[in-house]
Amino acid sequence: MIQKSDLTGFKVAGLEKPIKVTLFADNTTIYLSDEDDFDVLQKILDTWCSAAKAKFNILKTEIIPIGERSYREEMAKTYKETGRWRSYPKLVHMVGEGDAIRILGVFFGNDIDQLAIWSPSIAKVAAAIECWQKGNATLDGKRHVIQMAVAGMTQYLTDVQRMPDQVVKRLEKIIRDYLWDGKAVPPIAKEYPRLPIDDGGLNIIDISARNEAIDVMWLKMYLNFASDRPQWAYIADDILATNDQHIHSELGPKEEVGS
C-alpha cells in the first residue's frame, strides 16, 4: 500500500522505483520527501491496523530530519517548541542534531558522536574480560576468550557502523592487559601474538586487520555493478555525486579540488 501510494519518497539515480519503505521483522522505516503529506501515510497505517487487528504505537515512532542542516535544525526546533511540524503526529521523538537513535542495532542521526556510540560496547567487552580475569586461563584459553569477548562482541557493530581508531586502540589495550595480566611491559612485542601458531605466535585476533577486511567486503559489494547490486550502493553513488557537486560549486573557476 505504501509503495503504491501517492507518497513521493526518495528518488535515487539508478533505481527504477523511489525508496518509500524498508521493513525487517517488526521494524518499519518510512522515507518521506519534503512534499509528502503525513496524513496520506496515516490513512494507510490506519487501514492496515484495522485489517490486521493491530495498533500503531505512536510513542515508539521516531523522526529523523534529512536534508540541508538549516532545514533539519528548523524542523527539530519547530517541533520541540510547538509540538508540531506540518501534518506530522504529536508525541513522537524528533531527533535533533547530534542525537543518535538505534535501528536494528545501527545508530543513525546527524553529526552524531561515533565514540559515544561505541562506549556501551567497550564497557560490555571490558566487563566480560574482567569476569574472565578471575579464572586461571592458559594463553590458549585467553586466546579463545579474546576471540569470543573482544572480536565477537564488536563484529556486528563494526560491520554496520565502522570502528574509530580510538576504539581500536582501546580494545588493543584491553587485549594486551588481559593477555599479559596487566604488565606494563609485555614479554614479547605486540605483533608476535597475532602470528599463526605454526609461526611461533598465539593467533590472537588483529582488530585492525579484521576491520580492514570488513571494509574490503563492503567495497566489493559497492563495486558490484551486476543486476543484484545492493540498493544502498546506488544511494552511496547519489550521496557522493551530490557532495562532488557541492565541492565544485564552492570552488572558483580556476581552483581545483586538490588546491
The values of phi and psi at residue 22, to 5°, are: -130, 140
Q: What is the pTM of this model?
A: 0.82
Rg for the chain, CA atoms, rounded:
24
The most distant pair of C-alpha atoms in the chain lies apart, rounded to whole Å, by 68
pLDDT at position 253, please? 52
Position 245 pLDDT exceeds 80: no
Q: What percent of the chain has pLDDT over 70?
A: 94
Distance of CA 228 to the CA centre of its chain: 22
Higher per-residue pLDDT: 125 or 28: 125
> Which residues pair with residue 103 across a beta bridge?
106
Higher per-residue pLDDT: 56 or 196: 196
Q: Where are the alpha helices (DSSP H) in 53-154?
A: 69-82, 114-132, 139-145
Provide the residue type at 231 as one letter.
Q
Lowest mean pLDDT among 4-13, 139-148, 192-201: 192-201
Indicate the length of the chain as a whole number: 259
Q: How far apart are CA 173 and CA 182, in angstroms?
A: 9
pLDDT at position 256, please? 45
pLDDT at position 25, please? 82
Residue 235: how many CA atoms within 13 Å on its side-chain side? 7
Q: Is the dihedral angle over the CA atoms 166, 168, 169, 173 positive or is it negative?
A: positive
| Strand pairing class (62-63; 93-94) | parallel
Q: How far apart are CA 158 and CA 164, in angstroms?
A: 9
Mean pLDDT of 155-166: 94
The Cα-based distances of 205 to 145, 181, 209 in angstroms read: 11, 17, 8
Position 130 pLDDT exceeds 90: yes
pLDDT at position 149, please? 95
Mean pLDDT of 187-205: 88
pLDDT at position 259, please? 36
Give 206's contacts (C-beta < 8 A, 6+ positions apart). Answer: 194
